[in-house]
Chains A and B, each alone.
Chain A
Amino acid sequence: MEQLYIDLENYLGIGTDSVPEVVRLAIAVLVLGTIFLLAPILTIWVERKVAARFQNRIGPNRTGPYGLLQSFADVLKLIGKEQIMPAHADRIPFLFAPLLMVVSVIMITAVIPLMPNYIGADLSIGALYFVAIGSLSTIAVVMAGWGSNNKYALLGAFRTVAQLISYEIPLVFSLLVPVLFAGTMSMVGITQAQADLDYWYIFLAPASFLIFLFSNLAEIGRTPFDLLEAESELVAGYQIEYSAMPWGMFMLSEFLHAFLIGPLVAVLFLGGWDGPFAEDVPVLGVVYLVIKSMAVYFLGMWMRATLPRFRIDQLMEFNWKFLVPLSIANLLIASFLWELFPEPAGGGLVDNFPRFIVMGGSSLFTLMVGLEFLRRKSVEDRERIARLIDEKNYPLATADQTGVAGD
């Protein structure tokens, strides 16, 4: 399966015997890592342009054609900035945190199948590897917050722990659904299973797809889940004491992580590189993967531009009282129906119409029931606050009456 680095060997003319194994692996790693680290330079430009359009602006348009060189200018500026070392900081975690942050994100790229036979490492536990490596960023944020010796930074770090570990639960429960369908944790295996079926898991488990997307958006900590760096309340959260390139590394890892959600969702629910003629012309696989990734990335940008930030009590309630029970119910129903229906033999959506209707329908039905509960709860909350205002108890009402957070 490691065609990527076998091709590289042929291309670079390094024979199998002349160069040690480690060097050949290192070259493959450097190529893969560099490709993905340069991707944010483009995606930041896309993001700024799209965000600008959402806000009826034009966006960067002075540096180069269509402002394409804006990110390069930003990088040049960051290189010239002074790195400030706070006098009271805990030096080792302070300096170590931005490195660990980037490492925790860039390591994910190892298990993303780029096209048929092209993947960094086809691990048999790819899905679990993604969860394990992704949660390293929690530690990096805590190190940054703790090392800064700043109250805002530490508050941001504590919120991060609460948020990231909480949203990991619905993330994994919805991740289990494609693993269960495919019968393997390998990312290549999951993609191949969908290619063999001729339809994608999103049709069988739309609710899992949505839960996975939302909890991933919470994991990367962008609006509406950006409590870890809430500008208006925590100044910048854990990043407050960082300047120049270490700060740039936090930004880089955030944008890279946000972009990587695209390929991950595409592999697990949208068939990865699967598409017409992808098996015969592997290069098409990359095109399909990029199209699907950008579609998912656009959903994230859309939410980012539209929704206001959650309050921390809302954030935790949304997770523990809505997403977690919903994802568990969804897993139980999906696995039950998967057992009830005979194994699919491929043949696309038309041949599997009953299965698709029952599984997709029940998944959507579960989601609707959950949303109805959520709607009733929020109506109840609004009426309670309206009552408090009528009784002139709000906003003077204490925290336990209104549920307003006090950190």
Chain B
Amino acid sequence: MELNQWAFVGVFFVLAWAFPLAPIVLNRLVAPSRPNKIKTDIYECGVETVGDAWGQMKVQYYLYAIIFLVFDIEMVFLFPWAVAYGAIGMSAYLAGAVFILLLLEGLLYAWRKGALEWT
């Protein structure tokens, strides 16, 4: 039965692309298409575009991404912990609490270092 559920998700993932694709294709078939140089230009409020958009970005975004990675991995480990929690008892709580607090300490470290300030 379990395999059947996953087959449903698999079929869903294949067919799901048809849902957005159908109206877009219909739109393309029905609508006119008369591109010109002005129309296909980059729209930046009518001001002439200078340079490429694919340049450098603020480093703050990467700092958040790095902090996020720590918690992202933690969360994956916490799901089995939460499922098995009722069966294990108080030792599960202590182990989980130590694990969470260790990572909370990481957040506090980033906080004190000023990594969470948007400057």
Contacts and interface: CB of A to CB of B under 8 A. Distances in A.
B82 A80 contact: no
Chief secondary structure at chain A's binding surface? helix
Interface stretch (A163-171, A216-224, A349-357): A163-171
Given A324-B71, A332-B97, 10 more contacts: A32-B12, A81-B31, A120-B12, A128-B76, A149-B53, A150-B53, A152-B44, A165-B72, A246-B24, A338-B85
Contacts of B92: 339
Given A151-B53, A172-B75, A339-B93, A183 B83 contact: yes
A86 B42 contact: yes
A29 B15 contact: yes
A63 B55 CA distance: 46
A81 B27 CA distance: 7
A316 interface: yes
Contacts of A180: 82-83, 85-86
A26 B31 contact: no
Given A103-B17, A151-B53, A316 B64 contact: yes
A312 interface: yes
B: contact size bracket: 35 or more
Interface of B: 1-2, 4-9, 11-13, 15-17, 19-21, 23-24, 26-28, 30-35, 37, 39-45, 49, 52-54, 57-58, 60-61, 64-65, 67-68, 71-72, 75-76, 78-79, 82-87, 89-90, 92-93, 96-97, 100, 104, 107, 111, 116-119
Interface residues on A, range: 35 or more
Given A2-B8, A25-B11, A245-B24, A162 B53 contact: no
A2 B5 contact: yes
A54 B26 CA distance: 36
B27 A121 contact: no
Given A26-B15, A180-B85, A316-B118, A82 B97 contact: no
The residue among A2, A124, A328 with the most chain B CB atoms within 10 A of its own CB is A328
B79 A328 contact: no
